[in-house]
Structures are given as structure tokens and as C-alpha cells.
């Protein structure tokens, strides 16, 4: 199946208003161009260097979304063009994004990555840590960072009940945080190739799909 056919099939299953991030990490620009030519405009990458290189080669109306763990010292590589940083997991990172976005006179959309999976290995805030940080009011006062919602990666398991409980928990956190940020806080980013149909049941507004569009990655 071509990339266009895969994209069309996936898009046909997405309710109106749900955004599709085509996760293109580790795939060459030719494959991204193919997706672009099929109408795809939002691409997700996990490494800043790779994102910057692809950004330089591909059309300028692509919205680039950083989905991988981002080191503070690498924010500057993408700050001039990135649309969204979906993997924001620390105060230091937020402060650096604020600083770099200000330098470029931009506002960068972010998602707070919250850890809900039943595994120690996953990145993201522990909910209690996030609450402590939000209570300081610092994030709400930033002028170049716009908090759009939350993101998580569900447990990597075949046990659907565990995946469902992860999604239920992140959805509850999303609802709980909404009043803090207001109308702009509209994004619940859950769902990857293997679990996005379930994520849609839990109100996902942004799925992040790689393998089901581009095939297996070669690391």
C-alpha cells in the first residue's frame, strides 16, 4: 500500500477535528514528501537535529511537532520554526523554550507530557510534580509559551485493560487542568499506530501515527 493509501485509510477513521501527526522520525525526506503530496501537513520528529535538517529541505508550510525527549541545550536548534513541542516534561525545559521563543519573537505551543503508564521507563511529569510546579503560577505567566494540552504514551502492553486505564487517567488529568489554562487548552494527544482506535474512544484530539503510515523504522 502507498503512503497516500495508508493516510487516506487512517484519516477516514478519525472523527472530525482530530488532528493527525504523521510521525516521520528515522524516515528519509522522500517519504515525508510523499505524505506531503498526499495532503499531510503535520509531521512529528523525535530528534532536533533530524527535524532541523528535514525542515530545511521540505516545504515551509509544514507544521513540525517535537514528540521526543528534548534536551534543554537543543531547544535552540528548532526554536525558529517548530510549531509544537509535545514532550515538555520539566521546568527547565519550559524556561528554555520561553527564552528561545522570545528571542525569535514567537509563541511556541506546548503539550505537558504526563507519566501515567504502569512502567518506570516512560518520560513525563509525575502528576504530583506537575501540580507543585503549576501552583507556582510561573507557567501561566509566560508570554512565549502557549500550553495547549497534555500528551502521554500509554503502557507498551497487549493488555488492553491497562491501555484503557492509562487513557482514562490522562483524560481525567486533561479535564482537571482545563480551567487553569482556558480555551486554548484543547489538545489531548493520545494514540499511536497500535492503540489509536482505543485512544479515540477516550476523546483523543491528536493522534501520533508513524508505523501505520510509513512502515517499520530502521534505527
Ligand X SMILES: *Cc1c(COP(=O)(O)O)cnc(C)c1O
Which residues are at the interface with ligand X (CB under 6 A)? 23, 25, 46, 67-68, 153, 192-194, 208-212
Closest to ligand X by CB, 27 or 171: 27
Extended strands (E) in the chain: 19-23, 42-45, 63-66, 84-88, 108-113, 145-151, 187-189, 206-209
Segment holding 123, helix H or strand E = none
**Nearer to ligand X by C-beta: 68 or 149?**
68
Please write down the long-range contacts of 68-72, taking CB distance under 8 Å and 24 or more positions apart: 68/25, 69/123, 72/96
Which is closer to ligand X, CB of 143 or CB of 219? 219
User: How near is the Cβ of 135 to ligand X at its closest, in Å?
Assistant: 27
CA distance linking residue 124 with residue 45, whole number of Å: 17
CB of 46 to ligand X, least distance (A): 5
Minimal distance, residue 123 CB to ligand X, in Å: 9
Question: Is the Cβ of residue 41 or residue 122 nearer to ligand X in the bound state?
Answer: 122
Strands 108-113 and 187-189: unpaired
CB of 212 to ligand X, least distance (A): 6
Amino acid at each position: 500500500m502507498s503512503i497516500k493509501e495508508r493516510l487516506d485509510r487512517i484519516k477516514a477513521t478519525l472523527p472530525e477535528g482530530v488532528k493527525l501527526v504523521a510521525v516521520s522520525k528515522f524516515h528519509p525526506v522522500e517519504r515525508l514528501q510523499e505524505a506531503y503530496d498526499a495532503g499531510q501537513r503535520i509531521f512529528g520528529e523525535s530528534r532536533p537535529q533530524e527535524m532541523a535538517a528535514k525542515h530545511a529541505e521540505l516545504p515551509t508550510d509544514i507544521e513540525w511537532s517535537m514528540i521526543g525527549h528534548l534536551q534543554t541545550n537543543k531547544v535552540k536548534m528548532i526554536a525558529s520554526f517548530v510549531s509544537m513541542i509535545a514532550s515538555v516534561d520539566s521546568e527547565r525545559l519550559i524556561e528554555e523554550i520561553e527564552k528561545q521563543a522570545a528571542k525569535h519573537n514567537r509563541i511556541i505551543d506546548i503539550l505537558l507530557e504526563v507519566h501515567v503508564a504502569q512502567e518506570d521507563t516512560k518520560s513525563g511529569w509525575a502528576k504530583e510534580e506537575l501540580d507543585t510546579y503549576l501552583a507556582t503560577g510561573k507557567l501561566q505567566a509566560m508570554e512565549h509559551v502557549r500550553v495547549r494540552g497534555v500528551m502521554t504514551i500509554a503502557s507498551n502492553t497487549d493488555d488492553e485493560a491497562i491501555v484503557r486505564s492509562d487513557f482514562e487517567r490522562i483524560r481525567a488529568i486533561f479535564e482537571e487542568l482545563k480551567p487553569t489554562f482556558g480555551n486554548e487548552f484543547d489538545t489531548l494527544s493520545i494514540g499511536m499506530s497500535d492503540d489509536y482506535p482505543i485512544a479515540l474512544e477516550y476523546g483523543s484530539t491528536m493522534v501520533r501515527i508513524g508505523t501505520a503510515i510509513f512502515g517499520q523504522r530502521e534505527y
